[in-house]
Structure formats: C-alpha cells, structure tokens
Amino acid sequence: MNTKVSGSSTDTVEVGPKTYEMPPRVGFTVAHFLTVADIDRSARFYEKVFDGQILSTGDTSGAPAYIQFANTWLLVNVGGGPTPDKPTVTLSVPDPNHINSFMNIRVADIRACYELWKSRGAEFITEPIPKYGEIRCYIRDPDGYIIEVGQSTDLTYG
Amino acid sequence: MNTESTDVHYEMPPREGFTITLFITVADIDRSADFYEKVFGGRVLSRGDTKGASGHIQIANTWLIVNVGGGPTPDKPTVTLRVPPDPDNISSFMNIRVADIQACYKLWKSRGAEFLTEPISKYGEIRCYIRDPDGYIIEVGQSLP
C-alpha cells in the first residue's frame, strides 16, 4: 500500500495535472484546521497513524503546528476567543457526539488501512461496515473528532 | 522552499493509498455545491441523490463532500451530524492558504462570498474569514515572508 510520499519534499502534492505547494506561490492550497487540547499530542497522532510529516510544531506565541499528509495539510492549535478578523467566533474542541464536519479519508483498500492504522494505535468506533455503496468505519482522534475511512464499492467521482 | 515534485498523484476514488477530503453537513446540497463552484472555481462532480449519496466538489488539492445531517448509523452509533447550531462556536474549519490575499479577497467577494472582515495582519500572516451558506467559517490566509 502506497501511503507515503517517499523520497520527496512534503511541501508539494500533485492532484490531477496540478501541483500544490504550502505556502502557495500561485493560486491557493486548501488545508484543514482543528482546534485541539494538546498540539504535540495531535501532531504525534497524525504522524504515527497516517505517516504525516510534522513541518512545524507550533510555538508559544500562538503559531499552529503543520502536519502534511497525503494531499492535504493539517493545522492544529489550541482554542481561544475572538480575534480582530473573526470578532464573534470562539474556537474550542468538539462535542464528540454532535459533529458538523470531519476529515473523510477515501482509501483504495479499507481492510489494509484498518489493520495498519489500528496497529499504530488508531481507535476505531467499529470495524469496516458496508453501507450506501461503500465500506466505512470511523476513527476517534485524540480530541474526539471523527475521521471517516471509506472505500467506494460502486460509485466513481472523476 | 523546496518545490521538488512528488511521485504520488491523488485521485478520487483512490486506486492506491488514500486521499483526504473534507465532509461538511449542510442544509441544502445544491446550494452548497453552487457556492463552492461559483466562489472558488470548484468542480462539481456529483450533486448527490435522493437515496443518501453525498455531493462531491473538487477544490484545488482537495475534495469537499457535502450531505444533509442525520442520526446515528451502525458505523457511528453515538454520533449525530448536523449543521453548525451556533456559527460562533467552531472546532474545525477549511483553511485556504493563498499566494495573493488581496486578489483572492476581491475575486471571491465579487463572486458573492461574505467576508467577516477585510484582510487583517496578525501573527505573521494576513487573514480574513468567509461564512459559507451554512455558517461555516473558511479561513483565507497569506503567510508573510
């Protein structure tokens, strides 16, 4: 199973015919931000389970940690109250049973991913279960976020 | 910064390894697909169906998967998915890193994106936030050298 960008830089990824960089020199690159209780704990989790590359561990002046994995970058930081650019918004760790959005990892071989990621310490809610034209299961990350792991069995989206 | 190309091409669905996407619970799949297509030049691959399939939109290096909420399923028996009940209390969000924030701000605003503020310098970057149709925040940020 090829789950690692081996022997190459971790600040670019290729999707289709295009290459994306972090930070981008042209256009834009999409990343995912998670509010976490412990930056180091989260960085280690995504490094260990998914072969993420920790590009930055954050700092005491408020910088987030950056973890590159597969086609995306994860930014993790502790929560906090409003800032001038989002004056009404408070960031906090989630209620693990009432979720709005989550990372959804589409895989080529769900059995192989389930076994590998479980062996690395990922806590799965259930084993992979067939449902709606796919086989799915969910991981809880250290802050209670769910991470969907799914393999499509009868659907193709470009 | 090293820009050497990688040897892995990500695709959906992946034929090897894995590809990371973002799922958001929405009130109206079509409304969300239209928004991400119009504002960010996303490519709508699917608008879902009445049997529960999600909408899929490719945006830059990732895919956004959108669907309506719902109660527990056998593979997540304690979890309920819902649109953000309070858009001012957030845990995670899409974070778009850009090369030219003023250009993105003007372009995306002209396409109907609602920004909380203009771009503001903070913590070694320039940032601003968009509200999507369901109240999710989307960070738009440019790192300063």
Residue A65: both structure tokens together: 């940690």
Question: How close does chain A come to B142, measured CA to CA in Å?
Answer: 8
Q: Sign (positive/negative) of CA torsion A94, B94, B141, B31?
A: negative
Q: CB-CB: which of B40, B85, B136 is closest to A101?
A: B136
Q: Average pLDDT of chain A?
A: 90
Q: How many domains does chain B divide into?
A: 2
Cβ separation B1–A8 shorter than 8 A: no
d(CA A83, CA B114) in angstroms, rounded, equals 18
Does A1-92 carry CATH code 3.10.180? yes
List, in sequence order, every residue forming a beta bridge with B56; answer none if it has no partner.
Answer: B46, B65
CATH of the domain at B88: 3.10.180.10
Taking residues B93-99, report their average pLDDT. Answer: 98
Q: How close is the nearest chain B Cα to the Cα of A147, in Å?
A: 10
Q: Dump pLDDT digits (tens) for A74-131.
A: 999 999 999 999 999 999 999 999 999 999 999 999 999 999 999 999 999 999 999 8
Nearest chain B residue to A61 by CA distance is B123
User: Is residue B48 located within the same domain as residue B58?
Assistant: yes
| Host H or E run for residue B109 | helix B101-110
Q: What is the model's pTM?
A: 0.92
Q: Which residues of A117-149 are buried (b: 16+ CB within 10 A; e: fewer)?
A: beeeebebbeebeeebebbbbbbbbebebbbbb
| Residues of A in Cβ contact (< 8 Å) with B99 | 23-28
For residue A71, give the nearest of B10, B13, B40 by CB distance. B10
Indicate yes or no: CB of A85 within 8 angstroms of CB of B116.
Answer: yes
B73 and B109 part of one domain: no
CATH for A94-158?
3.10.180.10
Is residue A4 predicted with pLDDT exceeding 80?
no
**Intervals of CATH 3.10.180.10 along chain A:** 94-158
Instruction: Out of A9-23, A32-46, A139-153, B116-130, pick the least confident.
Output: A9-23
Question: At B32, which CATH number?
Answer: 3.30.720.120
B38 has a pLDDT exceeding 50: yes
Contact state of B122 with A101 under an 8 Å Cβ cutoff: no
Name the band, by pLDDT with cuts 50, 70 and 90, for residue A155.
Answer: low
User: Domain containing B117: what range?
Assistant: 84-145
- If phi > 0 it is left, if psi is from -120 to 50 it is alpha, else beta; for residue A39 that is alpha
Q: What integer pLDDT is reported at residue A59 of this predicted model?
A: 85
Q: What ipTM was reported for this prediction?
A: 0.92
Distance from CA of B112 to the nearest CA of A (A): 18
Residues 6+ apart with CB under 8 A from A68: A10, A11, A13, A22, A52, A53, A55, A74
